[in-house]
Structure 1
Amino acid sequence: MTTMRDAWRLATGTLTALPVRPPTRVDRRTARTAMLLAPLAVLPLGVLVAMLLWLGGLTSLPPLAVAFVAVGALAVGSRALHWDGLSDVADGLTASYDRERSLAVMKTGTSGPAGVTATVVVAGTQAAALTAYSHSIALAALAGALVCLSRCALWVVCCTRVPAARADGLGVTYTRTVPLPVAVLGGVLLSVTGGLAVLVLVRRATTRFGGVTGDVFGAAIELALATMLLTWAWL
């Protein structure tokens, strides 16, 4: 019971801006459970996105404007940590073919040209795709569900087959904690396109950085969400 409570607090406190008590203990078992709870922990954010899209659809506001507000609200609700990760990963991948140099660039926390471009493209893709979800409450609810399911990307990134790039940092406690069958299930829940996008990212990060970091966690979430929203909008 204590582990579950700590895991829930860890997942909610890490993945959302909702105020929660800090966990009493954070170990790899707690981290694994927190990653498994990730889709449920962000349920309030999914509901927020769904409500914004549905209410926006009832007005005469431009759908794209409503969609950008939803993307912005989601970013605020997660303290924009995932966007910071996406930006850092893009900068790291384009900075150098040297592993240590790339990791150093990612650790600076500043956004370079590649990071800014990646953020604009992915955020723009999410917003453009979300315009298709404001036509009914059912579609708005689907968008909210996809927000939650996109966090299954963490199951893939934290798979026991995926190493950590650093011996320290945020990602170390979480990496190699999720069993392979659960990671495979996560890829399935992300849809074919979302799962492939995360797999490509993880493969690229492992090749270039020697493994994944906390920044890769965030990048995987935002990339998965953009891909899933676009796929279901097309369907």
Structure 2
Amino acid sequence: MSLTAGIRLSITTLTVLPVRAGRIDRPAAAVAMSVAPAVGALLGLILGALLWSLREAHAPAMVAAAVTVAAAALLTRGMHLDGLADTVDALGSYRRGEAALEIMKKSDIGPFGVAAIALTLLIQASALSTLPVAAVVVAFAAGRTAITLACRSGVPAARNEGLGALVAGTVPRWPAVVIGALVVAAGVAATPDRPWQGPVAVAVSLLAVVALVHHAVRRFGGITGDVLGASVEVATTLAMIGLSFTKIAAN
């Protein structure tokens, strides 16, 4: 069934969790990209539990946050960070089309990519030093909602092969919008004392992804796996920033 295969594909693509891969085709990819926010929430639960445990062990706030960020990279194979670096390097080159895609294919990372990774990890660790566990779950769910929106119908793939070609345009537009709206609404749980703050933070992060994907289509001709990775990191980081503007909540 496409549902089972899609759930397996989503977990095996977005995490290192020991799940056996199933069928890999566009119907399965449509399910995988649609359930990506749920996989993000699962990651958030795991990482939130780690963060809570470190705090309960009286680890310094920044140490607990940095370890959690490192764990997030390990649980995702660091592929989203790699995609962020490659995408920023290509955008920073001011090249278009195939010339930009060639930069993204290179195994090395340029100065733009290095700066993007360093700043992203720094900002995420700083934000996590203050976030309650519920906000961690919401931020990681928002980050993976970026994938659902980036793979909505009407968004082309930049190449004829690779992850982008498999998943581009697989999620119908209205289901993508509904899924995004549900995750925005779930932001209330992250900031219960200020119920408007969580939804606003998530909405801003997702709007930034829509803008990034639009720009990628103009510059590269469509999305790639690297663009998806960049979208995840941009949404996660912006959501964490928006959710951090509050007092530390009890866990």
The alignment's TM-score, normalised by the length of structure 2, stands at 0.86
- 2:224 match: 213
- 1:35 match: 33
Q: Which stretches in structure 2 are left out of the alignment for 5+ residues?
A: 185-201, 247-251
- 1:77 match: 75
Displacement of 1:43 after TM fit?
Answer: 4.2
Question: Can you list the C-alpha shifts for 1:125-181, whole angstroms capped at 9, x where unaligned?
Answer: 111111112xxxxx2133123212321111110011211111112111100111111
Kept after mapping to 1: 8 A contact 2:45/2:137: yes
- 1:171 match: 164
The separation in 1 between residues aligned to 2:166 and 2:42, in whole angstroms, is: 25
* Pairing partner for 2:122 from 121, 124, 131: 124
Q: Compared with structure 1, are the counterparts of its residues 159 and 44 closer, same or farther at alpha carbon in structure 2 (3 Å cutoff)?
A: closer
Query: What letter is aligned with 2:153?
Result: T
Displacement of 1:94 after TM fit?
Answer: 1.2
Question: Can you list the C-alpha shifts for 1:58-91, whole angstroms capped at 9, x where unaligned?
Answer: 2332211211111110110011111110011011
Q: Check if 1:10 corresponds to 2:3.
A: no
Q: Which runs of 4+ in 1 moved over 4 A?
A: none
* Pairing partner for 2:95 from 78, 90, 97: 97
The separation in 2 between residues aligned to 1:187 and 1:97, in whole angstroms, is: 31
Kept after mapping to 1: 8 A contact 2:16/2:75: yes
SS of the residue 2:229 aligns to: helix
Percent of residue pairs bearing the same amino acid type: 37
The separation in 2 between residues aligned to 1:177 and 1:196, in whole angstroms, is: 20
Q: How many residues align?
A: 228
The separation in 2 between residues aligned to 1:56 and 1:102, in whole angstroms, is: 42
Query: What letter is aligned with 1:160?
Result: S
Kept after mapping to 1: 8 A contact 2:40/2:142: no
- 1:162 match: 155
Displacement of 1:44 after TM fit?
Answer: 3.9
Q: Check if 1:185 corresponds to 2:178.
A: yes
The separation in 2 between residues aligned to 1:30 and 1:39, in whole angstroms, is: 16
The separation in 2 between residues aligned to 1:182 and 1:129, in whole angstroms, is: 31
Q: Check if 1:115 corresponds to 2:113.
A: yes
Query: What letter is aligned with 2:217?
Result: T
The separation in 2 between residues aligned to 1:130 and 1:226, in whole angstroms, is: 10
Kept after mapping to 1: 8 A contact 2:45/2:136: no
Kept after mapping to 2: 8 A contact 1:187/1:194: no
Please tell me the root mean square deviation across aligned C-alpha atoms, in Å.
1.6
Question: Can you list the C-alpha shifts for 1:15-64, whole angstroms capped at 9, x where unaligned?
Answer: 000122121x2221110001111122344421221112212222332211
Kept after mapping to 2: 8 A contact 1:159/1:176: yes
- 1:136 match: none
The alignment's TM-score, normalised by the length of structure 1, stands at 0.91
SS of the residue 2:168 aligns to: coil
SS of the residue 1:132 aligns to: coil
The separation in 2 between residues aligned to 1:230 and 1:63, in whole angstroms, is: 16
